[in-house]
Amino acid sequence: MNAKFIAKSTFLLFLGLLLFLAGALYGSWIVLNPKPFVYQPGDHLAEFGQEDTMVVAISDESLNLTAQRSVPNDPFSVLITYSNGDAPRRCRVNPDLSGLLDSLTLIVARKNVELDLFQTDYPVFLGYLELKKEAVDLFSPLYTLRRSPDGRVALQTFTSVAEIEIPAETFERLKTLCGPRPPGAPR
């Protein structure tokens, strides 16, 4: 082997390593500093088939509700636990989640909301919502729901926020799938 070949090979190896490191650093920067997605009216934030939805969960400062099924189009088994120590409630509800599943499985943006205005323009915390196609779904986003004083609902996913077309009453009805809250439960 001649010295020229070794020098050229070493240079190319070094250049390849340098490009690899630059790409890795850039990729890490993108992951750690994501740019918010700007939603347009009509954009779908979540789109599930009713038969594909196996788990619907919502939690707030007073309760955790999980509605789950193992077979598409089967009824949901619901478990509600309360932060004040009240006894958990269990029930079964029909496959359309008492009429709520259709509105939850297609979440449509009404308009984009700037992230820094999410808590000020929508000051009422409604809860965290999670929709899953399987009981263990590592890629299902956790949605943060907030309501404005005039009743509009906004949803945050990662660093993006949109006002959505689902009324706040839908989420309140979801929290009472097993009937009204027990007396003394915090609101």
- State residue 52's pLDDT score: 80
The C-alpha atoms of residue 79 and residue 108 are separated, in whole angstroms, by 27
pLDDT interval class at 146 (50, 70, 90):
very high
Say if residue 112's pLDDT is above 60.
Answer: yes
The amino acid at residue 171 is: F
140 three-class SS: coil
Which helix H or strand E contains 15, and what residues bound it?
Answer: helix 3-32
Mean pLDDT of the chain: 86
- Break the chain into its structural domains and give their ranges: 1-33, 44-174
> What pTM value is reported for the model?
0.77
User: What order of strands is seen across the sheet that includes strand 106-113?
Assistant: 44-47, 106-113, 160-164, 153-157, 142-147, 124-132, 55-59, 63-68, 76-82, 89-93
pLDDT per residue as tens digits for the range 37-94: 889 999 998 888 888 889 999 999 999 999 999 998 899 999 999 999 899 999 999 9
